[in-house]
Structure 1
Amino acid sequence: MTISKQIIAQMPKIELHCHLDGSISLETIHKLAKMENIPLPATLEEQQALFIAPEETKDLNEYLEKFHFIGRLLQTTAALELAAFDVVKQASYDNVKYIEVRFAPTLHTMKGLTLQEIVSAVVKGLKRGEVEFGVLSNALLCGMRHEPVENAIEVAKVAKSQLTHGVVGFDLAGNEVDFPPYAFEEAIKVAKDLDIPLTLHAGECHCGKNVYDAVVLGANRIGHGIALKDTPEYIEYIKENEIVLELAPTSNFQTKTVTSWEEYPFKKFLDLGLKVTINTDNRTVSNTTLNKEYAKLAEVYDLTLKDFYKVSCNGVFGAFVDDEVKKELGEIVNEEFEKLNGH
């Protein structure tokens, strides 16, 4: 019997892969547009077409086009703080206990903000949301693959300067096909030399070797990693190194990483003992919530509470926080799942 949506809503969740600019609620988009004096189309349908990807998206690049309009709204410290606060608020509706919100500071410099000002504004919003909604929240900084390697190096250095101030790691995001991990080897090395935890987007585009290469270069976690299903020769290496995989089902279908549930590897990876987690990726662009993602997987694979408990534990394991915080999160997860088991 499929786990009910009511039980799913009560599950304690850890979200490790959520993009700020892809996850802002419609209500807050309206506020931001007003603040920035940027007109929105008249109808809701036209508005949503600007920033929600259709279910039948052609590929990753078409999916990424939906970020352009939102990017224009996020060019001031007030806008960035409000957006970050909004994402934490949404996470609280999914009973998320810990969230890492990622963003690329270089995409928010159109009006002259410095990278430090951008990061400070986002962290301020996350911490305000943490206090108000009780969701422990941190930031991950992304280098963008379509930008020069020097930009990613600069972002890594900013991440290091903020590591004890709400920033917990570094990522590379964007066009993985044309810019595989080794194209950014220099930036990744800088991040590793600075002791910055790394989660790199890889394996989102039928390129399983990118997952392996990202880990060889130093990634602690992998954003998506779906293409591992086509390169089984790397699976044992990923498992042995306890690499956490950040899966996002709706997004993975939209970007054509997979086209059917038969080929989606979530349950296979879970059964093999890989450390899989469930994430939204982009709440707004993918028109989803974490509860929806859990419900979808529960229905397709007839998952048990034990399966979801494992997913939450994997999230705690992969979180870029110290051992003391992990212990606290682990205790919360154990306690809340024990209550659900008692139902």
Structure 2
Amino acid sequence: MLNSKIIAQMPKVELHCHLDGSLSLACIKDLAKNAGINLELTDEEILKKAQAPENTRNLLEYLARFDFVLPLLQTYKNLELAAYDVVQEAAKDNVKYIEIRFAPSQHLQENLTLEEAVEAVIAGLARAENDFDIRANALVCGLKQEPIEKLSKLPLLFDKITDEHLVGFDMAGDELNYPQEKFATLLGEITMRGVHVTLHAGECPNCEQNVLDAVEMGATRIGHGIMTKNLSQNQQTMMVERRIVLEMAPTSNFQTKAVETVAAYPFKDFYDKGLHVTLNTDNRTVSATTLQKEYEKISKWYPDFGLADFEKINHYAIDGAFIGQAEKENLHKQFSKAYQALSE
């Protein structure tokens, strides 16, 4: 088992991080002050509202925690600050590349447009890049439970916003009641524009068909993908051959009841089969975690998962990142050099 000091020194990539679920306590208080909202809560009370309990009953109870912070994220200033904060926290984990996803339709209560919401987040990412040794990009996220008429506006964002920080599209939310097949037309509008796609799928029990549907609809990455474990060997082999990246997040995966025991957690089995697994926080605040803690969990659960294995999953993440080939090659070289130094 690797010690925490070595894990802290590892450069990391994070592909699956939600903006509104990953705000630091200090940031939440600043956002409230900017919004003119007196929380009248102690730090402990704020965290109780923003964090999901360890024994969350299901995915929907977990998702309810986002309702607390959303009123604080309705202005350009606060969205910019929030994006900056998440990158700052990731940099503390020695993350060198991160993609942060958010649903712009959730931030329009004070008359921001969809474009302005995206531009605010991009501005925060860019400011953080100037202050920390990290690259940060944004993914637009649609929520499955929203009306399709509302979701249909999201593809147009990729026509209107040409900033290099906007790199992909995701769909999240209530997977159980809104299976992937419902969004085939919407995803066709996205992929026809050449936009990179990652989709939440396989996070709830017995929803493995959503994983297959997501791949069929153009996703090169799967958010969580726990139920890939229920796919046939041929189907798993297909995912290996197509280099589909699984964005796994141990703490979150247990909280949402995608899995309930370490013995049933498929991370190591996936890895041993050659599936392109990666490690992520999902929601730093809602899950009360950091990427450091996620790495420590994997190291504890699988003591033989060593430095070279962590390096490999980071190379998987780089391969799956929604960036150009030249930037990927630079990251591969940077990570290979850093991990070699750690092994000496």
TM-score range, shorter chain: over 0.9
Deviation at 1:69, TM superposition (A): 1.2
Query: Which structure 2 residues correspond to residues 242-253 of structure 1 after superposition, within 5 A?
Result: 242-253=243-254
Instruction: Please say if 1:310 is aligned against 2:283.
Output: no
Deviation at 1:11, TM superposition (A): 0.5
How far does the alpha carbon of each residue in 1:289-340 deviate from its partner, in whole angstroms, 9 at most, with x for none?
0000000100101111111011110010000000011011111111110110
Deviation at 1:150, TM superposition (A): 2.6
Q: Is the CA contact 2:247–2:278 (under 8 Å) kept in the aligned structure 1?
A: yes
Query: Which structure 2 residues correspond to residues 147-226 of structure 1 after superposition, within 5 A?
Result: 147-206=146-205, 207-226=207-226
Bigger CA drift: 248-257 or 161-170?
161-170
Deviation at 1:129, TM superposition (A): 0.5
How far does the alpha carbon of each residue in 1:55-105 deviate from its partner, in whole angstroms, 9 at most, with x for none?
000000000000001111000000000000000100111100100000000
* Correspondence for 2:129: 130
Query: CA distance change for structure 1 residues 180 and 163 in 2, over 3 Å: closer, same or farther?
Result: farther
Q: Is the CA contact 2:17–2:282 (under 8 Å) kept in the aligned structure 1?
A: yes
Q: Is the CA contact 2:25–2:43 (under 8 Å) kept in the aligned structure 1?
A: no
* Correspondence for 1:274: 275
Q: Secondary structure at the match of 2:121?
A: helix
Instruction: Please say if 1:320 is aligned against 2:322.
Output: yes
Deviation at 1:43, TM superposition (A): 2.3
Q: Please give the alpha-carbon distance, in whole angstroms, between the structure 1 residues aligned to 2:162 and 2:310.
A: 30
* Correspondence for 1:7: 6
Q: Is the CA contact 1:141–1:159 (under 8 Å) kept in the aligned structure 2?
A: no
Q: Is the CA contact 1:153–1:187 (under 8 Å) kept in the aligned structure 2?
A: yes
Deviation at 1:164, TM superposition (A): 3.9
* Correspondence for 2:285: 284
Task: Tell me the TM-score normalised to structure 1 length.
Answer: 0.98
Deviation at 1:160, TM superposition (A): 4.2
Q: Which residue of the other structure, out of 324, 335, 338, is the alignment partner of 1:336? A: 338
Deviation at 1:44, TM superposition (A): 2.5
* Correspondence for 2:230: 230
Q: Partner amino acid for 2:179?
A: P
Query: Which structure 2 residues correspond to residues 57-136 of structure 1 after superposition, within 5 A?
Result: 57-136=56-135
Gaps (5+ residues) in structure 2? Answer: none
Gaps (5+ residues) in structure 1? Answer: none
Deviation at 1:231, TM superposition (A): 2.2
Q: Secondary structure at the match of 1:250?
A: helix
Bigger CA drift: 244-253 or 38-47?
38-47
Q: Please give the alpha-carbon distance, in whole angstroms, between the structure 1 residues aligned to 2:276 and 2:44.
A: 38
Q: Please give the alpha-carbon distance, in whole angstroms, between the structure 1 residues aligned to 2:249 and 2:55.
A: 16
Deviation at 1:37, TM superposition (A): 1.5
Q: Secondary structure at the match of 2:315?
A: helix
Bigger CA drift: 163-172 or 132-141?
163-172
Q: Secondary structure at the match of 1:121?
A: helix
Q: Is the CA contact 1:197–1:220 (under 8 Å) kept in the aligned structure 2?
A: yes
Identity across matched positions, percent:
48
Bigger CA drift: 218-227 or 161-170?
161-170
Q: Partner amino acid for 2:128?
A: G
Query: CA distance change for structure 1 residues 163 and 199 in 2, over 3 Å: closer, same or farther?
Result: farther
Deviation at 1:39, TM superposition (A): 2.2
Q: Secondary structure at the match of 1:267?
A: helix
Q: Secondary structure at the match of 2:278?
A: strand
Q: Secondary structure at the match of 1:156?
A: coil
Q: Please give the alpha-carbon distance, in whole angstroms, between the structure 1 residues aligned to 2:44 and 2:157.
A: 39
Q: Please give the alpha-carbon distance, in whole angstroms, between the structure 2 residues aligned to 1:161 and 1:203.
A: 32
Q: Partner amino acid for 1:226?
A: I
Q: Is the CA contact 1:204–1:227 (under 8 Å) kept in the aligned structure 2?
A: yes
How far does the alpha carbon of each residue in 1:155-184 deviate from its partner, in whole angstroms, 9 at most, with x for none?
122034335431000000100011111111
Q: Please give the alpha-carbon distance, in whole angstroms, between the structure 1 residues aligned to 2:261 and 2:127.
A: 40
Q: Partner amino acid for 2:215?
A: V
Q: Secondary structure at the match of 1:16?
A: strand
How far does the alpha carbon of each residue in 1:22-74 deviate from its partner, in whole angstroms, 9 at most, with x for none?
00000000000111112224322221111100000000000000000111100
How far does the alpha carbon of each residue in 1:265-304 deviate from its partner, in whole angstroms, 9 at most, with x for none?
0000000000000000000000000000000100101111
Q: Please give the alpha-carbon distance, in whole angstroms, between the structure 2 residues aligned to 1:225 and 1:178.
A: 17
Bigger CA drift: 211-220 or 34-43?
34-43
Q: Please give the alpha-carbon distance, in whole angstroms, between the structure 1 residues aligned to 2:275 and 2:124.
A: 33
Task: Tell me the TM-score normalised to structure 2 length.
Answer: 0.97
Q: Please give the alpha-carbon distance, in whole angstroms, between the structure 2 residues aligned to 1:278 and 1:107.
A: 26
Q: Please give the alpha-carbon distance, in whole angstroms, between the structure 1 residues aligned to 2:237 and 2:209.
A: 13
Deviation at 1:217, TM superposition (A): 1.0
